[in-house]
Structure 1
Amino acid sequence: MNPLFQSEPIVLNLPDAEIIYYPHFFDRNEADAIFVELKNDIPWQQDDICVYGKIHPQPRLTALFGNEGKPYSYSNIKMQPHPWNSLLLKLKSHVESVSDTNFTTVLLNQYRDGKDSNGWHADNEKELGINPIIASVSFGAERVFQLKHHSIPDLKQNILLEHGSLLLMKGTTQHFWKHQIPKTSKPIGERINLTFRVIQ
């Protein structure tokens, strides 16, 4: 497994953020194979979330893998990690090679179609520490990743996350920016996203 850097990384020129996008971190054939393995071999689950006092099924499937049984909590959901498998360890190693970070945990999301989504949020949970580094790898259908600044209402950015791409968010990004994967009414295929992080 060798990431192929078919294009130069793109550094986003945004205030209060350090965001780097690698459109072709994995070549297409390798990304295709990884997608199939992740879809078939990951123990996907669907948790319930509470939105405005009402309980709903989370609009995507998830799984958590990580070190030493450290749980991860968000949106009143507390997930217990599975032990790393060989594929995820290989992906982690490649992501670490460009991010200069030793990640402890990966949260996986499966978006089954355009109705599956992830609402506005920042990855700023206390267990991620100050100025967390988040490395997001995407496989499958392309989806729009939206960013908006907390205190500058008109400051927004859209990124089309491509099959086999890597997005790095670091520095003060999670303090000043929120992000989401919005729903879409367009016919769209499945997407699997892995967000590597460090739990303190």
Structure 2
Amino acid sequence: MDLFNPNPITQILPFDGEVLHYGQVISAKQALYYFERLMENIAWENDQAIIFGKLIITKRKVAWYGDKPFDYTYSKTTKSALPWTKELLELKAIVEAKSGETYNSCLLNLYHNGSEGMAWHSDAEKDLKKNGAIASLSFGADRKFSFKHKESKQTVSVLLEKGSLLVMKGDTQTYWMHRLPPTKTVNMPRINLTFRTIVT
């Protein structure tokens, strides 16, 4: 065990991909500070998806930021990236230093409580760099995050704590789906930042 790193990096997936859990990379005090700033300063809006031709408005709120006004299309809806905020640039620098990767955009999700989650999916949109790293940084409530192999159906779960970093890379999106399962035991909001690379 590395005495200078109390949170050793853990590889979550058993095969067909690489998901690295870095544990808490931001202190509890700093995590609370960023949670409050993000709640106040991000241009949150309810997410939209077109499912079976019908427009669905989610309770979950989202925001999309980047180096340029990148268009990002998922669930048959398109968003244009807003300019980075001061806090997002600070967090981007932390994530890049920890993960050794670079990112040019960030999709933020706000879950008001445990009843709000995310269904099984893969982040394999054509706008994203193929097999590029996606870094997930969590604030607020601790929530379980799950992976399911597309063929074997094997599942793996990890608890994402406030201030924790998870990085998905390599073949992960090709072979695995992931989700944020709803839970009745969480009454607090959670903010999740997913730093990505858009190709143009």
Q: TM-score range by the shorter chain?
A: over 0.9
Residue in 1 that maps onto 2:121: 121
Contact 1:132 1:174 in 2 (8 A): no
Residue in 1 that maps onto 2:183: 184
Change (3 A) 1:148 1:80: same
**Per-residue deviation, 1:190:** 0.4
- Tell me the C-alpha RMSD between the 2 structures: 1.5
TM superposition outliers: structure 1 runs of 4+ over 4 Å: none
State the distance in 1 between where 2:45 and 2:12 align. Answer: 33
Residue in 2 that maps onto 1:44: 44
Question: Is 1:97 aligned to residue 97 of structure 2?
Answer: yes
Q: Which runs of 5+ in 2 are unaligned?
A: none
Matched residue SS, 2:50: strand
State the distance in 1 between where 2:177 and 2:147 align. Answer: 6
**Per-residue deviation, 1:127:** 1.4
- Relative to the length of structure 1, the TM-score reads 0.93
| Counterpart AA for 1:50 | I
Between the two proteins, what is the percent identity of the paired residues? Answer: 37
Residue in 1 that maps onto 2:61: 61
**Per-residue deviation, 1:13:** 4.4
Q: Which runs of 5+ in 1 are unaligned?
A: none
Taking the TM superposition and a 5 Å limit, the aligned residue runs for 1:1-200 are: 6-153=6-153, 155-200=154-199
Contact 1:71 1:81 in 2 (8 A): yes
Change (3 A) 1:184 1:16: same
State the distance in 2 between where 1:195 and 1:36 align. Answer: 18
**Per-residue deviation, 1:185:** 2.2
Change (3 A) 1:13 1:119: closer
- Relative to the length of structure 2, the TM-score reads 0.93
Contact 1:5 1:25 in 2 (8 A): no
